[in-house]
Structure formats: C-alpha cells, structure tokens
Chain A
Amino acid sequence: MKKDTLSFEEALQKLEAIVQKLEDPSVPLQEGFSLYEDGMKLSSQMKKELNEIEKKVKILQKDAKGEMHEADFEDADSE
C-alpha cells in the first residue's frame, strides 16, 4: 500500500471530481484553467504509472530457520 502518494483509486476519483468541477459553469475560467492543467497532469501520471508496472510473480519459500522468503515463480505458461 502506498502511503505518501494517491492510490490509483483516489487519483481516479480526483480526476473525476476535476471533470465535474469543469462542468460547473459557476467555476471561474481562471480556476477552470488550473483545473484543466491539474486534470491533464494527473491523468498523464496515472497512465504513466499503469504502463510502468512491471512486476514479477513471486512465491514464498521457507528457509532453514522457517522464515518466508520471496522467490521468482516460473510456470509453464508464463509469457
């Protein structure tokens, strides 16, 4: 769990809120511009994060002391 940054879910909610605010005609244009900028920035970060996920599948193995360690898990149909 990431503590310091927004979770993907929170980011998606924030992005949705930005769009909703932009849809509100009472929000001044100046604010609209910064909302727009925020939205573009946030969404490109999210896309970047999604595309950069490159993790392996791990399997836990017990060592001699009985402690669990992660090892790479390989199976026949891994791509």
Chain B
Amino acid sequence: MCGERPVTGDMQLAEEKIFKVSELTQLVKLTLETQFASIQVLGEASGVVLASSGHLYFTLKDSAGAMKVVMFRGNLQKSTLNKLENGQLIIVRGVLSVYPARGEMQIIAQDMRLQGIGDIFAALEKLKKNYGEKGYFDPQRKKKLPLLPGRIGVITSPTGAALRDVVRILRRRFPGIEIVIYPARVQGEGAALEIAAGIGFFNDADPARQVDVLIVGRGGGSFEDLWAFNEEPVVEAIFRSRIPVISAVGHETDFTIADFVADLRAATPSAAAELVVGKKDEFLRQIDFFRHNCMRQMEQRLHDKKSAWVRGAMDSALADFPGRLGEKAQQLDSCEFSLNGLFGQARANKLARMNRAVQRFSACDLGAMLKNKGLLVRNVHMQIGAFFSERLQARRETIRMLASKLSALNPESILAKGYSITSDSRRKVIKDAAALAVDENIDIRFARGRVAAKVIRSE
C-alpha cells in the first residue's frame, strides 16, 4: 500500500496535517485549559502593570522560569490579595491558557495570595488561643467606656490617614473635644514597643492630664503591616491599661489580637472616632428631653394638686360643722354638690386659662427658660394658690350661712329664743292644752333647766 495513510491517531494527525496558526493556537489553548483547568503556581511577581481597564498584568517567575499572568478586573476585586507589588512572593490560582494573538502561554488568574500567609494565620490562631486561655479576652474584664470623655488619647502614626480621619470625625461630632495624640510607628521593627509605650505613657500620666479613653490603631495594610498589633508588648499593654482602650486596626475584615483584648473593637479608625463620643447635638437633645419631662411632670402635678386642694377644702369645712347637726349633714352634702356644680364652671374656666399658661410655658424657648428657671412655674403655682384661697373663703362663707340657717331649725335653738317644751307624766310633748286635765303633773323644759308643775286650770 502506498499513497495516503489512513488517519488513525493524534501522532499521524500532528505529522500530516497542515494547521493554520490560529487553528493551532486554539487547539493548544483548549488542550491547556482542559489539562490545567485549576492550578496553583508559586512565584515572585515582577513587571506588575495595572491597566486602565482594571486588568492586572504581571510576570510570575522564580530563579529558572517565568510565566505571564493576567488577572481580569472582576477577579482582582475578589482576590485575597488585591494590591500586588513587584517582588512579592505569591501563589496564583487560575487556569493555564494561551493568548492566541501572540501565541503566548499565560495564566488567567482567579485568585492570588501572599505566600506564607497560611503560616501567619496559624501563628495568629495560636496566639489567640493562648491569650484566650489566659483570660485576656474575658468579657467581664472589659472596661466601660465613658459616655462623654473629657480627654481622648490617640496612639497611631502621626502621618497616617487614620489619624486625620479620627481627628476630623471627632471634631465634627463634638467640636472642641480634647484629643491628645501619641505618635507611634505602627508597622515594622519596634512598632509594637512604641505602641505599648504610648499606652503606658497615658496610664502613668499625672491624674490631671490623664485621658478617659484611648484609641489605638492604624489604617489598612497588608497582613504583615498589621502584625505589630498581634505582638506581645501591645497585647500586654492593652491588657494592663486602666484606661479603656478601643482598638482600631485596618479595615473591617482585619482582626488582630489587639482587637480581642481591647475593651472595644472598632472596625476602622473612623469607626473608633464614632464610637468614642456621641454627637454633641444628641447630648443636647437628651438634656432637653429631660428638661421637657421635668416641666411636663410639674404641670401634671399642679393640675392634680388643684383637685386635691378642692377636696381638702371641703373636708376641713365639714370638720368645722357642729356635730349635733349630724342628721342635717346629708342635706348639707346635697348643698355642697350643687355648690360644686356652680363652682365647677368657674374652675373649668380657670383651669383652661391655667393650661394655656402652662402650654405657653412649655413652648417657651429653652434658652429663655433658663433665665427664669422655676420662677415661671412658681408664679403659676402662686396664681393657683391665690385662686383657691379666694374660692375657699367664698365657700366657707356659704357654708357658715347654711349652718346658721340649719341651726335656726334646731329645736334647741328655738328654746334659746325663750320658747319652752311641755310634756306630760308619760313624757309625751303636749301640743294641745285639751290633752291635759286640772291637777295633772307636767314637765316644762327651758333652754336651760326644767321644772315640774301642776295644771291649775285649762282654758
């Protein structure tokens, strides 16, 4: 057999077929993407370029090899490491592919992270476990933050954005609040000792110059950059601090040992500034709320007291009333009720006026109120007092008049006018002379004393 050999396999295909370039690159691309669909590659980043499109291009290399890497914008945003610098030793995870236009092999990266980070994480977990077991994170030893700190201490880099954010936010929330900054390096060799020294400095300060709360932190950075806040000097200093400490390290997603041991963890330095002191306006509003309640309660009390005074006046008026008119008291009660009815209208009018006064009073500008303090309320109080004593006087007069009318009806007061009561031997009051016989014994009762007598004649 001669001529064309049948195509029976890849080898033959590769030997015989004449590819177009684009066909071959496509084929290689497909093959690589299938065979190396998910690989991890360790290397040092070089030639890092962030294109205006947002895609990241660099070369991953080691001592003997190099490979192009592209990380598209979407993946870069989600990447564990999203800011790459030349010289960083990283692990790239992605798919091996070919850029057909140049026939160049490249890795299309899905994620990248710093090499060795796993070790650091393990170390951090170990530290966390150790300090946790020693009770450094116990909730019951967390100190309470003052509601309104007189002085706030800030320990951070004097040049960092974190400090500017903290100062700006504190000033905005509470103009004029006192801030004392302790400048400290926050990364690199010796940073932990400087931060710890700052915490110690504020704790040892002369009482007059002491701060009420400390913010210790820095802005965002790599995991290594934040490492000082995991170191023993910082952790111990925060643990021993008598002054409450707020930790404010990096971004929301960053956690350090300092965060766990601190009395309060703020997600960022800006968040710390917002946690440390309330807004001045809100403090003022709260005070005004209580002031308003004070006034409202006083109004209510005055209102209630008026009714109580009326009842009290009634009771004392009745107590003056002669006891022996007891059986007439009921009659008097009904007088009292009708009197109340008459009086009710006047009272309602006065009340309405009072309430209007009180409403004006509470609507008053609080600043102006300050000047008058309780005087205004005391005036209202006096007005009510005067009103009631006037009313009470009038009522007493009425009651006295009624009492004298009632007493005129009493048989004993009739006797006082010179009349007398005659009864027979059976003590029956005699109303008709015909009921008596001559010589019958009778009893005559006068206003004072009584006599026994005998009927001489009947007419």
Q: Measuring CB to CB, which residues of chain A are less than 8 angstroms from any residue of chain B?
A: 1-3, 7-9, 12, 15-16, 18-19, 22-23, 25, 29, 32-33, 35-37, 39-41, 43-44, 46-47, 50-51, 53-61, 68, 70, 73, 75-79
Report if A47-B287 is in contact (Cβ < 8 Å); known contacts: A36-B377, A73-B167.
yes
CB distance from B193 to the nearest CB of A (A): 15
Q: Add 13 more A-B contacts to A32-B298, A77-B164 (CB < 8 A).
A: A12-B287, A23-B297, A25-B304, A39-B294, A43-B290, A43-B291, A51-B284, A53-B174, A53-B176, A58-B178, A59-B180, A68-B182, A79-B171
A59 near B183: Cβ-Cβ < 8 Å? yes
Give the complex CA separation of A58 and B286 in angstroms: 29
Instruction: Judge if B50 is at the interface, Cβ distance under 8 Å.
Output: no
Instruction: Judge if B190 is at the interface, Cβ distance under 8 Å.
Output: no
Give the complex CA separation of A22 and B182 in angstroms: 46
List of B residues within 8 angstroms of A50 by Cβ: 280, 283-284, 287
B301 near A75: Cβ-Cβ < 8 Å? no
Which residue from chain B places its CB closest to the CB of A41 in the assembled complex? B373
Give the complex CA separation of A47 and B280 in angstroms: 10
A58 near B150: Cβ-Cβ < 8 Å? no
Instruction: Judge if B403 is at the interface, Cβ distance under 8 Å.
Output: no
CB distance from A69 to the nearest CB of B (A): 11
Report if A19-B178 is in contact (Cβ < 8 Å); known contacts: A12-B286, A60-B183.
no
B286 near A7: Cβ-Cβ < 8 Å? no
Instruction: Judge if B408 is at the interface, Cβ distance under 8 Å.
Output: no
A22 near B298: Cβ-Cβ < 8 Å? yes
B210 near A22: Cβ-Cβ < 8 Å? no
Chain B binding surface, main DSSP class: helix
Instruction: Judge if B251 is at the interface, Cβ distance under 8 Å.
Output: no
Report if A22-B183 is in contact (Cβ < 8 Å); known contacts: A33-B381, A53-B176, A53-B177.
no
CB distance from B288 to the nearest CB of A (A): 8
A40 near B181: Cβ-Cβ < 8 Å? no
Instruction: Judge if B158 is at the interface, Cβ distance under 8 Å.
Output: yes
Which residue from chain B places its CB closest to the CB of A57 in the assembled complex? B179
B177 near A55: Cβ-Cβ < 8 Å? yes
CB distance from A79 to the nearest CB of B (A): 6
Instruction: Judge if B342 is at the interface, Cβ distance under 8 Å.
Output: no
List of B residues within 8 angstroms of A54 by Cβ: 176
A47 near B284: Cβ-Cβ < 8 Å? yes
CB distance from B287 to the nearest CB of A (A): 5
Which residue from chain A places its CB closest to the CB of B209 in the assembled complex? A70
Q: How many residues from B make CB contacts under 8 Å with A?
A: 49
CB distance from A33 to the nearest CB of B (A): 7
A22 near B287: Cβ-Cβ < 8 Å? no
Give the complex CA separation of A73 and B163 in angstroms: 11
List of A residues within 8 angstroms of B151 by Cβ: 55
Contact residue among A39, A60, A77 (Cβ-Cβ distance under 8 Å from B181): A60
A59 near B290: Cβ-Cβ < 8 Å? no
A29 near B178: Cβ-Cβ < 8 Å? no
List of B residues within 8 angstroms of A1 by Cβ: 150, 207, 210, 212
CB distance from B19 to the nearest CB of A (A): 63
Instruction: Judge if B305 is at the interface, Cβ distance under 8 Å.
Output: yes
List of B residues within 8 angstroms of A23 by Cβ: 293, 297
CB distance from B100 to the nearest CB of A (A): 51
CB distance from A65 to the nearest CB of B (A): 15
List of B residues within 8 angstroms of A46 by Cβ: 287
Give the complex CA separation of A50 and B92 in angstroms: 56
Give the complex CA separation of A73 and B305 in angstroms: 58
List 29 A-B pairs, Cβ < 8 Å.
Answer: A2-B150, A9-B146, A22-B294, A29-B302, A29-B305, A36-B295, A36-B374, A37-B373, A39-B291, A40-B370, A40-B373, A40-B374, A43-B290, A47-B287, A50-B284, A53-B176, A55-B177, A55-B179, A57-B167, A57-B179, A58-B178, A58-B179, A58-B181, A59-B181, A60-B180, A60-B183, A75-B163, A78-B167, A78-B171
B168 near A77: Cβ-Cβ < 8 Å? yes
List of A residues within 8 angstroms of B163 by Cβ: 75
Which residue from chain A places its CB closest to the CB of B171 in the assembled complex? A79
List of B residues within 8 angstroms of A68 by Cβ: 182, 201
Give the complex CA separation of A35 and B293 in angstroms: 12
Q: Which 9 A-B pairs have the closest CB atoms?
A: A55-B178, A22-B297, A8-B148, A39-B294, A9-B147, A53-B176, A59-B181, A54-B176, A57-B179
List of B residues within 8 angstroms of A61 by Cβ: 183
List of A residues within 8 angstroms of B178 by Cβ: 53, 55-58
List of A residues within 8 angstroms of B147 by Cβ: 7-9, 12
List of A residues within 8 angstroms of B295 by Cβ: 36
Which residue from chain B places its CB closest to the CB of A62 in the assembled complex? B183
CB distance from B13 to the nearest CB of A (A): 69
CB distance from A15 to the nearest CB of B (A): 5
Which residue from chain A places its CB closest to the CB of B198 in the assembled complex? A60
